[in-house]
Amino acid sequence: MDRVIVDTDTAADDTQALVLALRSDRLMVEGVTIVAGNVAFDAQVENAKHTLQVLDRTDVPIHEGAERPLLKEWSHATDVHGEGGLGGGAVPETGVDSADEDAVEFILETVRASPGEVSLLCIGPLTNVALAAAREPDLDELVDEVWVMGGAVDHPGNVTPAAEFNFWVDPDAAKRVLGDLSVHLVDWGVTLRDGVLGRDAVDRARALETPAADLFGTVVEPALAYAREQHGIDGAPQPDGLAAACMIAPEIRESVREVALAVDEREGLTRGFSLADESGTLDRSADARVIEAVDREAFADLFLAALAGDPPETALD
């Protein structure tokens, strides 16, 4: 079983990544760390706690982290996820306490105590991880794997034509993380190619009538509307869930590209742009593993298994 910390800007699709990670028998979630991103920080904290309550997993600690990007002004995505992040304005009031230790200290303490054993699943802007990398020069050796949902590799972004939301919100952090750490990357491109739950899968999920499926039924509405209006797609893109599923199940990774990655941190047209380079222009090692294709049917099966209350990997049996 792989030990993992989930770093999240908890809104709709983040909740589904938490469902997958917490339901899997292949992962042990050590803690959830919160980072500024999708919606108001306090709402994200409550959304994460609510998701743990739905799964009856409030044993997992929630550690609060960066409430704004490293240098840029915070930008939200309430237009995509609803004001509160879970499909509408309402924010849960869970009454669950956050852990005392802040997110970055928790990440560092956990990986230092168990070198090479704990992975990171990063499904929001990379501010917390960048701060951890700044404080710990040996972070790349101390972590096991670093999985990142972010970027748009050789593909249009979803905030600007150049950039995907997580990398656009905090491009300085994304630049730092991709420079310091070897990551597995699930980007917006593979999300639109293989990480969209079709209408049939959405309807099957809703019919499951489990607490997790009920949560999905609530949060999926804005994703359906966003995909229809912005991308002409009849389905629900699940970027964070796809990253979690690819981390859990190597079996569904159909194509992985080893490449040098860099991010443009400058303000302007290419802020947050993720550059993949095989020409040697970057003078960087090809240490990023970009997931370029995923078995989309298997992904949907994993997703539904987790919502049904089973370990997602049982869908592969």
**Sign of the C-alpha dihedral computed for residues 251, 253, 259 and 265 taken in this order:** negative
CB of 122 vs Ca ion, minimal distance in Å? 9
CB of 47 vs ligand RIB, minimal distance in Å? 11
Contact 260, 209 (CB under 8 A): no
For ligand RIB, the closer CB: 80 or 305? 80
Q: Measuring CA to CA, how many Å separate 104 from each of 18, 22, 62, 271? A: 19, 21, 12, 25
For Ca ion, the closer CB: 84 or 124? 124
For ligand RIB, the closer CB: 239 or 311? 239
For 95, other C-beta atoms within 10 Å of its C-beta total 8
Helix (H, G, I), strand (E, B) or coil at 292: strand
Residue 14 near Ca ion by CB under 5 A: yes
CB of 246 vs ligand RIB, minimal distance in Å? 14
For ligand RIB, the closer CB: 164 or 172? 164
Contact set with ligand RIB (CB under 6 A): 9, 11, 13-14, 37-38, 77, 123-124, 149, 158, 164-166, 188, 239-240
For Ca ion, the closer CB: 9 or 313? 9
Residue 187 near Ca ion by CB under 5 A: no
Question: Number of helices (H) and strands (E), helices first, in the chain?
Answer: 13, 11
CB of 283 vs Ca ion, minimal distance in Å? 31
**Dihedral Cα 240, 311, 146, 290, nearest 10 deg:** -60
Residue 195 near Ca ion by CB under 5 A: no
Residue-level length of the chain: 317
Site string for Ca ion, 111-150 (x = CB under 5 A): ------------xx--------------------------
For 100, other C-beta atoms within 10 Å of its C-beta total 10
Which residues is 253 bridged to in the sheet? 294
Binding interface with Ca ion (CB under 5 A): 9, 14, 123-124, 240
